[in-house]
Amino acid sequence: MKHFDAILHVKGRSIFVGDIPEPDGTLHAAVFTSPCAHGNILSLDTSKADSMPGVFMIITADDIPGENEIGNIIMDEPLLAAKTVHFIGEPVAVVLADTSSHAYEAMKTISIKLHELKPVSDPREAARLGDLIVPPRTFCCGNTVSALKECAHIIRGKAETGGQEHLYLETQSTLCVPGEGNVLHISSSTQSPSFVQKIAARVLDLPMHMIQVDVPRLGGAFGGKEDQATPWAVIAALGSHLSGRAVKLILKRHEDLVCTGKRHPYSYNFTIGLNDAGRILVWKVDYYQNSGAVSDLSTAILERSLFHSTGSYFVPNVLATGYCCRTNLAPNTAFRGFGGPQAMFVMEAAIHKASVETGIPVEEIQRTNLLQQGDLFPYGMKYSCNEVRNSWDLAGKFSGIKESRRSVQEFNRENRYFKKGIAIMPVCFGISFTTTFLNQASALVHVYTDGSVSISTGAVEMGQGVNSRIRQVAAEVFSIPVERTRVESTNTSRTANTSPTAASSGADMNGNAALTACKEIRTRLLEVAADKLDLEIENLCLKDSAVWNRQNRTELSWDQLVAAAYMNRTDLSSHAHYATPGISFDKTTEKGRPFAYHVAGTAVTEVTVDCMLGTYKVDRVSIVHQGGNQLNPLVDRGQVEGALLQGIGWMTMEELAWDGETKRLLADTLATYKVPDINFTPDEVNILFAEGEKLEDGVGLKGSKAIGEPPFMYGIGTWFAILQAVRAFNPEVSFDYTTPMTPERVLMALTEGRES
C-alpha cells in the first residue's frame, strides 16, 4: 500500500497549476491590494501603471460585467474593493502584463487615497461595537442555572487561542485559458472547483456551463483553499474574459501570507461546575470568534465549535454561545478542524483550572467525564460507541503512562533546571459537513476497451491520498491490479456540483460514489460473462483479473470480458451519486443528527522544558487512534503524524502578530512565522490504530473512518504537558490559558512572581 503520487513527487514530475504550460500570449496578473486596514476610497490612480512597459490592461471594480460579489454563505465580499477597504491585502485593482515582473512593476505604481477609519482587530471589541456578522448563536441542554446550585465547585475563567497560517507549499494559483466563444477553462488550486465555477459565473454574468474548472492536484490546502482559492481564480477569469487572453495568477509567498485568512483566533469566557466526585455538571462557554473582515466560512466554523463545545466529555447542562466578530483582519477561514480545535482547547483549559482549584488530578476529571455509548450531545445526537473511553484506557497501557509518570516525577526531583510534563488528550470529532446539503458527491467511471479504468470524482487530491484510496476501492471491485486504474483531475465538466473536498469526508463520500459506479459496471460485465460462458450469473464473480465460476477460474480474463462487452454494445461507463445517509439538523431547535459518526482517539504527550531558556522539546507522543478498518495504513499514518505536528505547531511556536495601530500582519515572512521542522518533531511518535466501532454499509468507506482532521487535536496535549513542566519549576504560576505557548511565554511563566 502506498501513496500513488509519491514517485511523481519525489521525481518532481507531479503537475501543479504552476506547471501547466502557458499558451502563447498568456498575460500575467499582479493584484494591487489595500495598504490600509479600514478606510473609504477617495481615489485610485492607475495612470502611471497604464503606461508601464508590457502592461496590457488594468482592471478595477467598474470593469466587472456581473456582480462584484464572491460571498458564498453571506453576500458580503466584493471581488475588488469599490468604495471601502476592510483589511490590508484586500484586492482593489489587477494589472495584466506580458510578464510577471512587468505586472508587478506596474502594480507598484498604483496609488490609492483613503479616508482612513479606525481598524479593529480584537473580537471582544468588535462585539462591544455590535459588529457581529450574524446574531449570536446558542446551543444548550439541561438547565445550567439550577444545576449550578448543585455544584460543589464552580470555576470561572478566560482563555485565548491564536490563529494559524496554513502554509501550504503551493501558494494560491490559477491559470485561466479562454476557449471557443466565451468559454473559460480555469485551472485552479482550489478545494472547491464548483464554488469557483459558480462564483466566476456570477461575477462574469455567464451561465455555469461556460466555465470549466479543472484541478490537477494541490500542493497542500488544510482548509486554506476551501473558500480562499476563489477570489484569485475569479480574478484570473475576469482578466481572461476582458482580455480574451490566457491569464496566470500565482501569489508570491508574502502576498499569500498577507492577503489570505487563517485559522480563527478565539477568545473565551467559561464557567465549569463539578460535584464532589469530579463530575462535570455544568459547562458554560462564550466563543468570541475573530472572523476577520468578511464572513467567508466563519458562521459554519462557529457552528462546528458549538458542536464540539463539550469536547470528548458528557455534560448534562450546557450553555454555549458563539459570536462571529467582524474585525479588520484578512477574512479568517477553514483550517483543519474547522472550529473544533478551538472548542476542545477551552474545555481542556477549564478542566485544568478545575483541577488546580479543587486538587482533583486533571486525568481524574477527564476520565470521570469521558463520553460513553448512549450519552447525549448538547445538540441531541447520541454517542454511538465507546471509542473515547476505550482509546483512553488503551492509550494508558500503550504509552506505559504509569511508568512515565514515575519517571517524570523522579526526573523532576533530580533536576533543577529541566522539568518534564505529561498530558493526556482525548479527541472526539464529528464527521460530515455540518451544512447537511454539502454531504453529497458523485463519480464517473469509464472502463476502456483495453481493460484500463478511468475514474473522475469530485474529490481533490491535496496530498492526503484520496486518489490512492479511490483507486484501491475501484481495483477491488473489478479485482484488477491498482495500476490499471487512474484517477483523473477533478473537473466540473466531468463531475458537476461538487462539494468542497473538506470536512475529512472526501474519501468517504467520493469513494462511495466511485464504489457504486464501479459495482454497476461490474454487474453489467457479469451479465455479459454469464451469457458468453452460458453459466448462472449468481455463481460468477471477478477475481484476479478473470471471471470465476464458484471456486473455479473460467477461461474468460478481465481483458477478454471487457472486449466482449464492448462488442456486445454494453455500456462500459457509469455515473453514481452518493448522499450521506441518516443525517439531518434543525437549526430552529439546534437539535438533530448532524454527523454520520464520530472519530475518537487519545494521545499521551511527554515534554521536557529547559527552565533557564524557556525552550522545550516534545519527547514522545503515543496515540491510540480508532480509525476503523484501515484501507491504506501508510496514508493513515501520514495523516496522523502530519496532523499531530500541525496541531503541536498551533499550540506552541506558530505565532501570528499584528501591528497594534495599523493591524498590519507582522508574521508575514517565513523568517517571522515559524512552523515545526524536522528538528522540532517529537523524538518518538508511536501510533496504535484500533478498529473499534463497526459502521453500517455505505457510512465511512468500506469500514474505514475519516482521517484528515481528527488527529490535529492530539496536538493540544502538548500545551498542557508544557504547562505541567512549567508548574513543576514554578508552582506559583498563574498561567492564563493563552496559546501559542511560545518559548517567550514559557520563560515569562517560569519567572513569574520571582525576583531573581
Which residues belong to the active site?
709
Name the residue whose CB lies closest to ligand MOS: 223
Shortest Å distance, C-beta 69 to ligand MOS = 22
Distance set, CA 709 to CA 6, 43, 209, 293, 300 (Å): 21, 45, 33, 26, 16
CB 132 within 8 A of CB 326: yes
Shortest Å distance, C-beta 594 to ligand LUZ = 9
Q: Of 201 and 707, which has the nearer Cβ to ligand MOS?
A: 707
Q: Of 338 and 377, which has the nearer Cβ to ligand MOS?
A: 338
Residues 276 and 121: their CA atoms lie apart, in Å, by 41
Distance set, CA 396 to CA 313, 389, 601, 696 (Å): 18, 11, 12, 29
β pairing state of 266-274 and 39-45: unpaired
For residue 472 the three cell numbers come to 484501491
Long-range CB contacts (within 8 A, 24+) of 745-752 = 745/614, 746/609, 746/614, 746/615, 746/616, 746/722, 747/613, 747/614, 748/614, 750/609, 750/611, 750/614, 750/726
Query: What backbone phi and psi angles, to 5 degrees, belong to 494?
Result: -95, -35
Shortest Å distance, C-beta 507 to ligand MOS = 12
Q: Of 120 and 503, which has the nearer Cβ to ligand LUZ?
A: 503
Q: Of 300 and 687, which has the nearer Cβ to ligand LUZ?
A: 300
Q: What is the 3-state secondary structure (H, E, C) of 321-369?
A: EEEEEECCCCCCCCCCCCCHHHHHHHHHHHHHHHHHHHCCCHHHHHHHH
Shortest Å distance, C-beta 71 to ligand MOS = 17
304 makes contact, choosing from ligand LUZ, ligand MOS, none, with CB < 5 to 8 Å by partner type, with: ligand LUZ
Residues 724 and 726: their CA atoms lie apart, in Å, by 5
Shortest Å distance, C-beta 175 to ligand MOS = 22
Query: What backbone phi and psi angles, to 5 degrees, belong to 569?
Result: 60, 45
CB 170 within 8 A of CB 189: yes
SS3 236: helix
603 makes contact, choosing from ligand LUZ, ligand MOS, none, with CB < 5 to 8 Å by partner type, with: none
* Sign for the pseudo-dihedral over CA of 58, 294, 661, 672: negative
218 makes contact, choosing from ligand MOS, ligand LUZ, none, with CB < 5 to 8 Å by partner type, with: none
CB 36 within 8 A of CB 88: yes
Q: Of 32 and 222, which has the nearer Cβ to ligand LUZ?
A: 222
Residues 32 and 51: their CA atoms lie apart, in Å, by 16
Q: Element (H or E) spanning 482, and its range?
A: none
**Short-list 123, 138, 121, CA closest to 289:** 123
335 makes contact, choosing from ligand LUZ, ligand MOS, none, with CB < 5 to 8 Å by partner type, with: ligand MOS
Q: Of 249 and 502, which has the nearer Cβ to ligand MOS?
A: 502
Q: Of 504 and 605, which has the nearer Cβ to ligand LUZ?
A: 504
Shortest Å distance, C-beta 365 to ligand LUZ = 28
* Sign for the pseudo-dihedral over CA of 672, 677, 680, 681: positive
Full DSSP string of 375-429: PBPTTSPBP--SHHHHHHHHHHHHHTHHHHHHHHHHHHHH-SSEEEEEEEEEEEE
For residue 335 the three cell numbers come to 483550517
Residues 320 and 303: their CA atoms lie apart, in Å, by 11
653 makes contact, choosing from ligand MOS, ligand LUZ, none, with CB < 5 to 8 Å by partner type, with: none
For residue 729 the three cell numbers come to 519549576
- Report the site for ligand LUZ in 212-271 (rule: CB under 6 A): 223, 226
Residue 304 binds ligand LUZ, judged by CB under 6 A:
yes
Shortest Å distance, C-beta 225 to ligand MOS = 7
Residues 622 and 685: their CA atoms lie apart, in Å, by 6
Distance set, CA 533 to CA 252, 538, 571 (Å): 61, 13, 19
- Report the site for ligand LUZ in 312-351 (rule: CB under 6 A): 334, 338
Question: What residues have CB less than 8 Å from 678, skipping those under 6 apart?
Answer: none
Distance set, CA 267 to CA 285, 345, 647, 752 (Å): 10, 11, 18, 23
Q: Of 206 and 502, which has the nearer Cβ to ligand MOS?
A: 502
266 makes contact, choosing from ligand MOS, ligand LUZ, none, with CB < 5 to 8 Å by partner type, with: none
Q: What totals of helices (H) and strands (E) does the chain contain, helices first?
A: 19, 30
User: How many chain residues interact with ligand LUZ (CB under 6 A)?
Assistant: 13
Residues 57 and 200: their CA atoms lie apart, in Å, by 19
Q: Of 435 and 440, which has the nearer Cβ to ligand LUZ?
A: 435
Residue 502 binds ligand LUZ, judged by CB under 6 A:
yes
105 makes contact, choosing from ligand LUZ, ligand MOS, none, with CB < 5 to 8 Å by partner type, with: none
300 makes contact, choosing from ligand LUZ, ligand MOS, none, with CB < 5 to 8 Å by partner type, with: ligand LUZ
Q: Of 105 and 461, which has the nearer Cβ to ligand MOS?
A: 461
191 makes contact, choosing from ligand LUZ, ligand MOS, none, with CB < 5 to 8 Å by partner type, with: ligand MOS
Shortest Å distance, C-beta 710 to ligand LUZ = 10
Shortest Å distance, C-beta 433 to ligand LUZ = 4
For residue 717 the three cell numbers come to 496535549
- Report the site for ligand LUZ in 396-455 (rule: CB under 6 A): 433-435, 438
CB 367 within 8 A of CB 392: yes
435 makes contact, choosing from ligand MOS, ligand LUZ, none, with CB < 5 to 8 Å by partner type, with: ligand LUZ
466 makes contact, choosing from ligand MOS, ligand LUZ, none, with CB < 5 to 8 Å by partner type, with: none
Q: Of 317 and 490, which has the nearer Cβ to ligand LUZ?
A: 490
Q: Which of 97, 141, 167, 503 binds ligand LUZ (CB under 6 A)?
A: 503
Shortest Å distance, C-beta 377 to ligand LUZ = 15
Residues lying near ligand MOS in the complex (CB under 6 A): 191, 223, 226, 334-336, 338, 502-503, 709
**Short-list 18, 99, 100, 27, CA closest to 247:** 27
Shortest Å distance, C-beta 336 to ligand LUZ = 7
Task: Kindly list the residues in this chain that would bind ligand LUZ in the complex (CB under 6 A).
Answer: 223, 226, 297, 300, 304, 334, 338, 433-435, 438, 502-503
